[in-house]
Amino acid sequence: MIKDIESILVNEKQIDEITTRIAGQINRDYKDSKQLVLICILKGSLMFTCDLMKKLNLPVEIEFMKVSSYGAGTSSSGMINIHLDLKREDIGDADFIVVEDIIDSGRTLAHLVGYLADRGAKSVKTCTLLDKPSRRVVDFTPDYSGAEIPDKFVVGYGLDYDEKYRNLPYVGVLKPEIYS
Ligand code: PRP
């Protein structure tokens, strides 16, 4: 454990168990899908998407989007900025699973589900490694969830503080003196 980390919240073994469990659910749920597409939401869900897709035994395609919450203020509309959009037009046969590292307010995923549905996706489900239900601003429940966590500042396994710590192989709680 590096010196900036106060404690490990989800260790490597637990992450492996989570990806195995969720991949098993997806393998069952999408066995009849004609076109399954995972959308990795950059940058945080990079590692989770990689580990999850390795455990899928179905034909699966990968896409990337990069988004950010719109004015982190009081709006509960779920508006987001799309910095990198889905680069395909014909999505009427595609079953999408949007893969996130963490759900906080719920704005990002709530908006993305509506956005992909509006673009004509056959189906859209959501998958997150971590969920902070206590931080929710919009009513949103993911279809696949790894672990519910308390409202701590977590980094690692894709999650950053000031673009650092994404490379840690576990999810850890950052020492408050680092960010305060
Ligand atoms: C994080 C996370 C989600 C979003 C969740 O991304 O990866 O996309 O915030 O927050 P919400 O539920 O309040 O919408 P971030 O903007 O930190 O970008 P990053 O993944 O590139 O670090």
What integer pLDDT is reported at residue 78 of this predicted model? 54
Helix, strand, coil abundance in the chain, percent, nearest 5: 25, 35, 40
In the predicted structure, residue 11 carries a pLDDT above the cut 70: yes
In the predicted structure, residue 77 carries a pLDDT above the cut 60: no
Q: Does domain 12-150 have CATH number 3.30.70.141?
A: no
Residue 51 CA to residue 119 CA, distance in Å, equals 28
What is the token pair recorded at 137? 């601003």
Average pLDDT over residues 75-88: 78
What integer pLDDT is reported at residue 62 of this predicted model? 97
| 104 catalytically annotated | yes
Q: What is the pLDDT of residues 43-62, one digit of tens each?
A: 999 999 999 999 999 999 99
Residue 102's beta-bridge partner residues?
A: 130
Ligand 1 neighbour 43 (Cβ under 6 A): yes
Catalytic site residue from 95, 104, 151, 162? 104
Residue 41's beta-bridge partner residues?
A: 65
Ligand 1 neighbour 160 (Cβ under 6 A): yes
Q: pTM, whole model, 2 decimals? A: 0.95
Q: How far is the CA of 32 from the centre of ligand 1 (A)?
A: 31
Q: What is the pLDDT of residues 91-118, one digit of tens each?
A: 999 999 999 999 999 999 999 999 999 9
Residue 2 CA to residue 13 CA, distance in Å, equals 18
pLDDT band at 148 (very low <50, low <70, confident <90, very high): very high
pLDDT band at 75 (very low <50, low <70, confident <90, very high): very low
What integer pLDDT is reported at residue 95 of this predicted model? 98
Ligand 1 neighbour 81 (Cβ under 6 A): no
What integer pLDDT is reported at residue 69 of this predicted model? 77
Residue 39 CA to residue 49 CA, distance in Å, equals 8
Q: How far is the CA of 108 from the centre of ligand 1 (A)?
A: 7
What integer pLDDT is reported at residue 73 of this predicted model? 47
Q: How far is the CA of 38 from the centre of ligand 1 (A)?
A: 17
